[in-house]
Amino acid sequence: MPREAPRLHASAVIDRQAELAPDVVVGPYAIVEAGVILGPGCVLHPHAVVRGPAVLGAGNVVHPFAVVGGEPQAKRHAGGPGRLEIGEQNTFREHVTVHGGTEGRATRIGGHNLFMVGSHAAHDAVIGSHCVFANATQLAGHTVVEDWATFGGLSGVAQHVRIGESAFVAAAAACERHVPPFVVVQGDRARVRGLNVVGLRRRGVAEPSIAALRRAVRTIWTSGASRVEALKALEAETDPYVLKLIESLRELAP
């Protein structure tokens, strides 16, 4: 019978002050620093690095040469490690970098996200769940990404910008302003191009709600009406997704 590979490879560097669930797998030359907590089922592939203080929930997978946690790239940061809090079942592919928070804050990531090769989440970012970040997606500090958002390759988000739920940020888009939920944005600088129908269907949103969102998007962005006029025209809408869209537009800066 083939010999079972050790769960903690002999060449891995694991600090005594790290806490690992019994079934965690740490591959060759991977590094786990002090202050790291790895939940059940986590897997660190060869040469993966997890820096403390960081908490990773169950089932996270960190691929080779990804660096998760550690000191932020922030000139105003006083120094020292930044906290990182990660939920369950996230995948961090090769060369992904995620930095901890600044000044006692934490970078927070939900669950079931896919960070593809070379993507980056900067200090104090707050990321929801079920998001996809294609290769080389770049999130600046203090960004907020809501659930089910999807990013094309080489897209970027400026500091303090919010990306709404189920939004699709197209490849190479540069987001310097808040992105409403449910829409597709594209370009430099990114502008709304339509409704993210594909993403909504993949999420399981019912067709009547998608149809209501189509009407709302046309009213707001292609009817020629002002933002105030468009929102007034939608006052009678009762669909919960349309109501979320209206609420976000009233909260976010134009």
Residues 6 or more apart whose Cβ sits within 8 Å of residue 195: 182, 183, 184, 210, 213, 214, 217
8 A C-beta contact, residue 163 and residue 169: yes
8 A C-beta contact, residue 175 and residue 145: no
- Residue ranges of alpha helices (H) inside the chain are 197-203, 207-217, 227-233, 240-251
What are the structure tokens assigned to 193, written together?
């191009």
Sequence letter at residue 144: V
CA distances from 183 to 134, 206, 210, 239 (A): 18, 16, 11, 16
Residues involved in catalysis: 123-124, 141
Helices 207-217, 240-251: inter-axial angle, 10-degree rounding: 40
